[in-house]
Amino acid sequence: MHGVHIALTDTEGNILFSAGNPSRVTHSRSAAKLAQAVAVIETGAVDNFGFNETDLALMCASHSSGDFHVTRAKNMLSKTKAEEDDL
């Protein structure tokens, strides 16, 4: 089980719903990965570079950098014609 701190606000910043400590300052870290993956989809990069479901799963995941993950990431770089140094 994971504990959460969340706040749902209106456009003025008024808290409409909260759980945990809605004032706690945190970093989005892994939560941002999904938003970044959505941008890859919405911009057409998935189709443009030929990314597949496994590529998208890696974009969204927290992982241990196992051999499979590294191989997949290198494959994704090659699809974009990028090099590791470009990161």
Q: Where are the domains of the chain?
A: 31-86
Does the pTM of the predicted model rise above 0.75? no
* pLDDT value for 62: 85
pLDDT score, position 31: 78
How do the pLDDT tens digits run along the chain, 87 residues long? 778 888 999 999 999 999 999 999 887 777 789 899 999 999 999 999 999 999 999 999 888 899 999 999 999 999 999 999 998
pLDDT at position 27 is 79
Q: Give the three-state DSSP class for 35.
A: helix
